[in-house]
Structure 1
Amino acid sequence: MQQEQIFQQMAHFWNTGMPFNQLLGLTIVQFNAQEAEVRFDWQDKLIGNPVQKILHGGVTASALDLAGGVVAAANIIEQLDDLSIENIERNMRKLSTIDLRTDFLRPGRGQHFVVTARIIRSGSKVAVARMELHNEENVHIAFGTGTYMVG
């Protein structure tokens, strides 16, 4: 199986098989070993401040973490010689968030949101990603740095 097919299958699994992502409406649009993109739409259930009607900070952090984790996962796969399902599953069990820093720049307002992530460093044990959240008007709402266990 080719890496691109694997990435597509993983995105499908994360989009349909993870109840928390579904609850928030997070959808992985694309990812590879260099970058990832996650999108979600405004929903009233995501309100963190009912007076201002802005995103809850936990939603922002979760979306950033998903994008960072996805690009870290792609880095695990890129380093594998054996792309069998069993080997991929064995290596994906190692993936976890070690640290997540979220910097809130502006109130989370918008109808549609895009999170992008890029790898800053990828080693045999740890990967570091930089993530950004923008709305449909390209207003930069938040950014984050995620450190992920990959090995």
Structure 2
Amino acid sequence: MSKTHAPLPEAFEPEFETGLKKIFEEMIVFNTVLGLKITSLKPDSVTARIDMKRELIGHFSYNRLHGGVAAAGLDALGGLAVMAAIGARHMDESPQDRLKRFSKLGTIDLRIDYLRPAIGEYFTLHAEVLRLGSRVASTRMEFRGPDGTLMSTGTGAYIVS
């Protein structure tokens, strides 16, 4: 027998959104090192931005972003999309109770396809959950340049319980 869920809300309440941004941008310190900033947080998708800085250069001759930054950013954003989906699934709980659900979240599998060199002043990342199960979630992510050019794509699987 399949379990049905209520339709996704269009937006989160401010307390949940503020708490999730604090966890993602401040408490996950590596995201701070990368400079990841959430630009959109919706129950069905999330977007973020990374500004280019000297510490993120992978190839000094071309001022190219290190591939590990793209991979780590896509992984982090996939996890954020799962957090948002879990938060939307449990709207009957208080924002504080929903924020506590993320303590067990972790990456199981990650695949990144590098399509072209990442050169630019900033980069945008987008992620959405393809499936949210009771134990595992799967995501699809995109990494784009300032002009919207697709530079990398990713898929991820995350443990949620």
Q: Same fold (TM over 0.5)?
A: yes
Decide whether the 8 Å contact of 2:19 with 2:99 is kept in 1.
no
Partner of 1:83: 94
Partner of 1:28: 38
Question: Could you list the runs of 5+ residues in structure 1 that have no partner in the other structure?
Answer: none
1:47-86 superposed matches below 5 A: 47-80=57-90, 81-83=92-94, 85=96
Partner of 1:8: 18
Decide whether the 8 Å contact of 2:24 with 2:80 is kept in 1.
no
Decide whether the 8 Å contact of 1:16 with 1:22 is kept in 2.
yes
Q: Percent identity?
A: 35
Q: 1:84 to 1:113 in 2, by over 3 A?
A: closer
Decide whether the 8 Å contact of 1:26 with 1:40 is kept in 2.
yes
Partner of 1:120: 130
Decide whether the 8 Å contact of 1:64 with 1:133 is kept in 2.
yes
CA root-mean-square deviation:
1.6
Distance 1:98 1:33 in 2: 22
SS at structure 2 position matched to 1:100: strand
TM-score of the aligned structures, taking structure 2 as reference length: 0.85
TM-score of the aligned structures, taking structure 1 as reference length: 0.90
Decide whether the 8 Å contact of 1:127 with 1:150 is kept in 2.
yes
Decide whether the 8 Å contact of 1:33 with 1:119 is kept in 2.
no
